[in-house]
């Protein structure tokens, strides 16, 4: 069977291709060299191998796999998700405008705010889940870049990607979607009309909490934005390391299985606590009580991701008591790993982030669902 006809699960299991053509090794090799020699005529010994900022076969192999998963024409790995987002932001020139979805990952919001203050780029923040507000903002400001996060972190709001892309066409804006929370196995923003999709590969793509990485993929590799992003990765040097790329590729081989278990766990967990007497609300697009459930169902397949938030009834102190009483959930920042994590988000991001003190962000892992539910039940009983 040709590779192009393989199911994504099969592509992932084989790391995007078969054995190493030079040695027959099932596991692809790591090439740590940063530079490559030339012969006596000053010709490269191996074409395409000059310097490791771009010339790394592990990069190419992993990027090819990620592009196939996204339905993209091309992908580029970066040193982190934020390094990838930084390259995207720099496609916007002084005097132009970025339209940023409000209420998304605070690190992204702060980064855009700080950098646009110094670069002469105008930043407009809007609730992109409100199509009337989004339409009005696009009409008024004619942005160069519309940046969405679907679903958003930590509020799990769901913006309509196709509608946003259609609105953006009126001014020729580039639409980028951060889809870190759901992975390409659940949602493909490029197929919904986005121009770029970005992931923090640190999260579910790697899945083992031991790699920093990011990836950007494009629907058109001949676009000016993509030419800039690819060149920016090379020139600015925000590249992932060879060992990290190898770990990422290894993590991707089990992505399908991890996503399947994590989605099932998250769905069952959210349904169980949706009407809990000590929970004000469960923020998870997979349950019918979520305001964005129908849209999420239309945009996503095979689940709704492993990220959710709980709003605890009571006070900030009560929410902190719950985190302190958890035993199986680990108190740590990040998401998408095999282990379940809990984070009191307002403590991490600070009082200016707009995050309620009663919000607990949960990353659901691959543990047995009965153990996860039991752990949260006993923790909620702590107040």
Q: Which residues, in sequence order, are CB contacts of 326 under 8 Å at separation 6+?
A: 342, 375, 376, 379
Q: Which residues, in sequence order, are CB contacts of 29 under 8 Å at separation 6+?
A: 20, 23
Residue written as tokens 């799990």?
Answer: 156
Distance CA 306, CA 375 (A): 17
Burial of 196 (0-12, 13-18, 19+ CB in 10 A): buried
Cite the active site residues: 53, 105, 178, 203
């Amino acid at each position: 069977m040709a590779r192009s006809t393989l199911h994504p699960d099969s592509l992932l299991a084989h790391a995007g291709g078969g054995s190493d053509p030079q040695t027959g090794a099932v596991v692809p090799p790591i090439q740590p060299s940063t530079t490559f020699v030339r012969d006596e005529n000053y010709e490269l010994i191996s074409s395409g191998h000059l310097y490791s900022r771009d010339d790394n076969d592990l990069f190419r192999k992993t990027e090819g796999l990620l592009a196939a998963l996204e339905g993209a024409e091309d992908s580029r790995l970066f040193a982190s998700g934020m390094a990838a987002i930084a390259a995207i932001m720099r496609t916007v020139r002084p005097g132009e405008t970025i339209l940023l979805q409000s209420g998304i990952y605070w690190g992204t919001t702060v980064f855009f705010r700080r950098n646009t203050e110094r670069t002469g780029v105008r930043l407009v923040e809007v609730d992109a889940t409100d199509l009337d507000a989004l339409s009005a903002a696009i009409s008024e400001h004619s942005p160069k870049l519309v940046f969405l996060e679907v679903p958003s972190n930590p509020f799990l709001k769901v913006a309509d990607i196709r509608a946003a892309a259609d609105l953006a066409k009126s001014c020729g804006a580039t639409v980028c979607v951060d889809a870190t929370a759901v992975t390409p196995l659940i949602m493909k923003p490029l197929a919904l009309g986005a121009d770029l999709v970005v992931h923090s590969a640190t999260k579910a793509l790697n899945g083992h909490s031991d790699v920093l990485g990011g990836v950007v993929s494009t629907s058109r590799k001949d676009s000016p934005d993509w030419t800039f992003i690819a060149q920016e990765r090379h020139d600015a040097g925000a590249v992932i390391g060879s060992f990290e790329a190898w770990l990422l590729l290894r993590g991707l081989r089990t992505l399908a299985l991890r996503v399947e278990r994590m989605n099932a766990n998250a769905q069952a967990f959210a349904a169980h606590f949706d009407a809990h007497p000590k929970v004000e609300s469960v923020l998870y697009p997979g349950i019918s009580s979520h305001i964005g459930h129908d849209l999420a169902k239309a945009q996503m397949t095979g689940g709704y991701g492993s990220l959710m938030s709980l709003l605890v009834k009571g006070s900030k102190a009560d929410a902190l008591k719950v985190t302190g009483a958890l035993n199986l959930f680990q108190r740590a920042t990040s998401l998408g790993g095999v282990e379940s994590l809990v984070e009191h988000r307002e403590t991490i991001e600070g009082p200016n982030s707009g995050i309620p003190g009663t919000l607990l962000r949960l990353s659901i892992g691959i543990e047995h669902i009965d153990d996860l539910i039991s752990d949260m039940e006993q923790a909620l009983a702590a107040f």
